[in-house]
Amino acid sequence: MSRVSTYLNFPGTAEEALTFYKDLFGTSFAGPFMRFSDAPGLDVAEEERPLVMHAEVEIVAGHVLMATDMLASLGHECRVGNNTTIALELDERAEVDRLYGALSQGSTEFQAPQVMGWGQYWSTCLDRFGVRWMLASA
C-alpha cells in the first residue's frame, strides 16, 4: 500500500528529535531504531556508529516522520535544503521511474532509481523548485 511521509535529516540529533516528537504527539516509535552499527559492511567513523540510520514515529492521522543522522565522515552536511524530504512509498517500480523522470528534470542533486542494499527500489532528487523527493517501492 502506498504512503506519504516526511523524511528528516539531522546533524547527530535524530534520536533526540524523534523522542521529542513522540512525546509531543503521544505516539510511539514504529519499531526499533536502526543504527549505522547495524549495517554490515558500512564503513563509518567509530563515533558515528551509534547514530540513527533510520527511525520512524507516527505524528497525526497516520502521518509518519522518518529520520536519519547525516555523517560528517561521509561528507554529509545537514543544512536547510537537504534536511527535509517528501518520501513516497509506491506500489510499483514503474511509478517510481515515472515520477523520478519528471521530478529530476532540471535537478542538480539526484540519485537515479536502483535496488539498494536494504532491498527497496529507491531514488531521490531535488526538483527544480528546491523540493527534495525520495521515491521507493518493493
* Domain ranges across the chain: 3-137
Which residue from 58, 81, 80, 55 is spatially nearest to 66, judged by alpha carbons? 55
The predicted pLDDT at position 44 comes to 87
Question: Considering the chain, what is the average pLDDT of its residues?
Answer: 93
Q: How confident is the model at residue 14 (pLDDT cuts 50, 70, 90)?
A: very high
The predicted pLDDT at position 21 comes to 95
pLDDT tens profile 56-88: 999 988 899 999 999 998 889 998 778 999 999
CATH of region 3-137, choose from 3.30.565.10, 3.40.50.300, 3.10.180.10, 3.10.310.30? 3.10.180.10
What is the rounded distance in angstroms from the CA atom of residue 55 to the CA atom of residue 37? Answer: 14
What is the rounded distance in angstroms from the CA atom of residue 92 to the CA atom of residue 138? Answer: 7
Which residue has 567509530 as its cell numbers? 46
pLDDT tens profile 38-47: 988 888 899 9
